[in-house]
Chain A
Amino acid sequence: MPINYYIFLSIALFCIGIVGVLTRRNAIIIFMCIELMLNAVNLMFVAFSKMHHLAAGSGASTVGTDGQLFVFFIMVVAAAEVSVGLAIIVMMYRNIHSVDVNFLNRLKH
């Protein structure tokens, strides 16, 4: 399959994510959108990794694998982020009984 399809899909996912972050006010949905963007990137990494690996031929078995390595890093970071982020959201809900991020503008004062 040509790489183009992967790229289109990935960009589509990423844009959905951005639009979601920008437009939604629910913290949990924003969170999901961020995950979406991360996954779009992951998808891109994997696709390119595969492409480079094939292009290099069978002799160079390690070519392109670092892309996949990065995916793991991103997943780890995403997992950590989710755990911390969800905890923050829970705390936020406890304090202001809402998960609407527009209420969270106190820093500007």
Chain B
Amino acid sequence: MKNALQLAYLVPLFPLLGFLINGLGRKSLSKGAIGVIGSGMILASFVVSLLMFLQVKEGNTIVAEYFNFIHVGKLSIPFAFQVDQLSSIFLLIITGVGFLIHVYSTSYMHEEPTEHFGRYFAYLNLFVFSMLLLVMGANYVIMFIGWEGVGLCSYLLIGFWFKKTAYNKAANKAFIMNRIGDLAFLIAIFWIIGKVGSVGYADVLQFAGDGSFSNKDLMGITLLLFIGATGKSAQIPLYTWLPDAMAGPTPVSALIHAATMVTAGIYMIARSNIMYTLSPVTLNIIAWIGLATALVAATIAMKQNDIKKVLAYSTVSQLGYMFLALGTGSYVAAVFHVMTHAFFKALLFLGSGSVIHAMGGEQDIRKMGGLSKYMKITNLTFLIGCIAIAGIPGFSGFFSKDEILAGAFGKSPVLYGIGLFTALLTAFYMFRLYATTFRGNFRGTHDQEHHLHESPAAITVPLLVLAVLSIVGGYIGIPEYMAHGAHRLSEFLEPVFASSNAIMEKHEISHSTEWMLTGVSSVLIIIVVLAAWKRFSSKPDLQDAEGFGKVLENKWYVDEIYDKVIVQPISRFAGFLTNVVERLVIDGVVNGVGRLVNYSGRQLRLLQSGQVGSYVLLMVFGILVVFVIQFFLRK
């Protein structure tokens, strides 16, 4: 079935239809119908994506042009989709995980009024549509359309419960911080237009591969694109919006703020990999920023008590890992981690949603505890998620994290050391979270205890599916040193990164070193996990943190610093412009001119006495003056 690739347009079309139907019919459709349409459309996309994936697996790719989006002079931007190895992987993640989360949402959001239920699914479908545009676009402009589109949907969904001002502020913050990154992205596009005269991936990457960019151009473009990525993928310095974005419904956090949207930055860099490979300075910067983000976010996560905040910071931290992978040139590892992370982080978020649901909206883990007794499936799947993210051997997170760390070691042992330390922190706070929530004794009210229950099937089935994926997902990327030729993902993605791999200098590490590194890190992680489990099952820290812990609990005060250093000065300056410059200076000048005319008019008016005699007298004087000039002064 070779023509499956011709159906590429169907993939984003289904969610778009779902958006239109649910958006327009949100008042007339029943909740059941809305749920079926919303989820069904994503399922249809998934099926098409799967068919296309099978085609791609056989080596077929396609660039399908549909119409001329913008055509001005020599610049032509077609509305075109590209399906190749990289995008088909992302398509599967987006539609697959997306479908599970839609199913989950039908139950999770069931208490909303029908109208808002419909609105929710419309937004969610619109998000999937935008995300698909982002990864399917065959040029940077289409990617940018999806890029801003997902930003919009994120904004709409974070502020879904629009009556709460704090939520809306979080939504605004997310959109605005993303816009800062978007500006850099845009400028990069303009730069590319100026140099290449086209924005299609094929043209641009070809141009870069030929070495036609100067080093300065390459560095500028790649850095700007990376700044764009820091906005969307929540890296230092633009990461603070992501934890606040947890204001949205939990499935949204799972889909947008963990599994898909935030990985857009990684997709973008992986897509442009040849430009980055040719610009080693940028790669270094990316590696260090990724690592710094991973470390900072992990430290903050240690002291958070809101179940979703912990997961949010862990997402930031894991995204940092992915950037570390990109920065060390292990593009495959980055994509691999995107995939495994999508599985286990979606699982964790959905699990937390199940917990929050059972606890009647409570999100503070200090008021939970001992939930494993009441929620067997949630407990089990959450535990699998924690094991996977911690990187315990055998689970998916182990493989991808191991590959990233190996790549980092190849570049510099310092990167490896900090990376490993961050991994240990991750294991620690994840099991702190798990133990505090599910182990020990229940610490909530009686009322809550009475209501504790396992969630319905629409919630547990997606959890189980994701749990299975979190376990087996890693086996498509078994590292070379364990089994020769077993890294199927790497083989699959080979064509996308071929030109980069050809240029990149390889830091070959011997298999024995790799075994040793893996052994050391695995043992350390398991020790940390056991320690955290033991410590927090028996006595979870319920008090507010003190000393350095307080700094961590308050997120290193980054939000406050941004507020003081950036937001307030701008606001004050704007106030100055409004009250002083606009009102006093500019208006003052204009009104001053008016007043001058008025004043001189009032003075001149006195000449008009109304006495005929005085007029005539003036006239006579005037004539005399003319005479005098005529006769005596004329030369």
Give the chain A neighbours of B609 by CB distance below 8 A. Answer: 105, 108
Please tell me if the beta carbons of B612 and A104 are within 8 angstroms of each other in the complex. Answer: yes
Is residue A22 within 8 Å, beta carbon to beta carbon, of the partner chain? yes
Interfacial chain A residues near B613, Cβ < 8 Å: 21-23, 25, 101-102
Interface residues of B (CB under 8 A from A): 608-613, 616-617, 620
Q: Of A22, A25, A108, which contacts B616 at CB under 8 A?
A: A22
A101 engages B612 (CB within 8 Å): yes
Q: A101-B611, A108-B609 are in contact. List 18 more A-B contacts (CB 8 A).
A: A18-B620, A21-B616, A22-B613, A22-B616, A22-B617, A25-B613, A30-B612, A101-B612, A101-B613, A102-B611, A102-B612, A104-B610, A105-B609, A105-B611, A106-B610, A107-B610, A108-B608, A108-B610
Distance A106 CA – B612 CA, assembled complex (angstroms) = 11
Residue in B closest to A106 when the chains form the complex, CB atoms: B610
19 contacts between A and B (CB under 8 A): A18-B616, A18-B620, A21-B613, A21-B616, A22-B616, A22-B617, A22-B620, A23-B613, A25-B613, A30-B612, A101-B611, A101-B612, A104-B610, A104-B612, A105-B609, A105-B610, A106-B610, A107-B610, A108-B610
What are the 7 tightest A-B residue pairs by CB atom distance, in nearest-first order?
A: A105-B610, A108-B610, A101-B612, A108-B608, A21-B616, A107-B610, A105-B611
| Chain A residues positioned under 8 Å from B620 (CB to CB) | 18, 22
The tally of CB-CB contacts under 8 A between chains A and B is 29
Closest to B623 in A: A18
List chain A positions with a Cβ less than 8 A from chain B: 18, 21-23, 25, 30, 101-102, 104-109
Secondary structure call for the B interface: helix
Q: Name the residue on B nearest A23 (C-beta).
A: B613
Q: CA–CA, A30 to B609, complex, Å?
A: 19
Q: Measured between C-beta atoms, what is the minimum distance from A46 to chain B in Å?
A: 22
Contacts of A105 in B (CB 8 A): 609-611
Residue of A nearest to B609 (CB): A108
Bound complex: CA of A107 vs CA of B615, how far in Å? 13
Give, as a whole number of angstroms, the nearest-CB distance from B553 to chain A: 79
Q: In the complex, what distance in Å separates the CA atom of A18 from the CA atom of B624?
A: 12
CB nearest neighbor in B for A25: B613
The residue of chain B having its C-beta at the shortest distance from the C-beta of A21 within the complex is B616
Contacts of A109 in B (CB 8 A): 610
Closest chain-A Cβ to B170's Cβ sits at a distance in Å of: 67
Assembly CA distance A105 to B617 (angstroms):
16
A13 to chain B, nearest CB (A): 15
Q: Which of B609, B613, B616, B620 has the most CB of A within 10 A?
A: B613
Q: Most chain-A Cβ atoms within 10 A of its Cβ — which of B608, B610, B617?
A: B610
Q: Which residues of B contact A108 (CB under 8 A)?
A: 608-610
Report Cα–Cα, A104/B620, bound state, in Å: 20
Residues of B within 8 A of A18 (CB): 616, 620
Residue in chain A with minimal CB distance to B607: A108
